[in-house]
Amino acid sequence: MHAARVLIAESHDAMRRALRAAVMERVTWGVCAEATTAGETLAKTAELMPDVVLLDIGLPGRDSLELTHELRRIASATKVLVLSVYESTPLAEHFRDAGAHGYLIKSDAGRALGGAIDALLEGRTFFSDHMQRNGAELTGDRRDMPVPVRNRLTEREREVLQLLAGGKSNKEVAVALSISVKTVETHRARIMNKLNLHSMTELVRYAIRNRLIDA
């Protein structure tokens, strides 16, 4: 059996060094590459086809959910472990739906990273302990779980979300996108439903968290 090859996609130097050290503690694991942007991550994944990608949710250059989905498209055998500072079961669900095999809180990485990678290499999924307590469905094996499309935003919905989260009114969004106010209202309702959001405050937080707008 070959040594497991891990690609570390992390934008912060200190965290990247810590992840490398943790991976290299295992004699059967190795770091095949490192990346600091979404573009580098996609390019190196396509070139090297690593066994596991440790994916920082805050990589610059692309929406993290979209990046996860693209990684799964170009490297279907590669396992994606999302690393996040946000303790959010709904967010973990969105990444699961985008194709991630695991979601680990960065503050838990010191004690849980090894177990998370082990789980992925064994064909299982891994989600942080608090998510296993709050949403047992997240621990299910993805091999028997179809990826729902209802949580994925269309390109137009993403445009509407960005403008709304940036402070535009429905009318201003309609003018910017050359669509009717009624169409904007329809898109807004669909976005809120797909992302399980219940207020503009939650929508803005979602947009900031996923780098759709600047904080």
Question: CA–CA separation, 36 vs 9, rounded Å?
Answer: 6
Question: Per-residue pLDDT tens for 53-89?
Answer: 999 988 888 888 889 999 999 999 999 999 987 777 7
Q: Which residues are 31's β-sheet partners?
A: 6
Average model confidence (pLDDT) across the chain: 84
pLDDT band for position 142 (50/70/90)? very low
If 0-12 CB within 10 Å is exposed, 13-18 middle and 19+ buried, where does residue 186 land? middle
User: pTM for this one?
Assistant: 0.65
Domain match, 140 and 159 both: no
pLDDT band for position 144 (50/70/90)? very low
Question: Does the structure show a pLDDT above 50 at 136?
Answer: no
The CA distances from residue 215 to 166, 168, 188, 192, 208, in Å, are 10, 15, 21, 20, 6
Residue 89 lies in a domain: yes
User: Residue 74 sits in a domain of what CATH number?
Assistant: 3.40.50.2300
Domain match, 123 and 177 both: no
Q: Which of 115, 144, 173 corresponds to the end of one domain?
A: 144
The pLDDT value recorded for residue 19 is: 95
Residue that is written with structure tokens 């998510």 in the block: 131
pLDDT band for position 151 (50/70/90)? very low
Number of domains within the chain:
2
Which of residues 54 and 91 earns the better pLDDT score?
54
Question: Does the structure show a pLDDT above 70 at 179?
Answer: yes
The pLDDT value recorded for residue 115 is: 92
Q: Which residues contact 8 (CB under 8 A, 6 or more apart)?
A: 16, 19, 20, 23, 31, 33, 34, 35, 54
**Which residue range(s) make up the domain with 202?**
155-209
Residue 214 lies in a domain: no
Please give the structure tokens belonging to residue 109: 């990485």
Residue 215 lies in a domain: no
Question: Does the structure show a pLDDT above 60 at 143?
Answer: no
Residue 44 lies in a domain: yes
Domain match, 22 and 125 both: yes
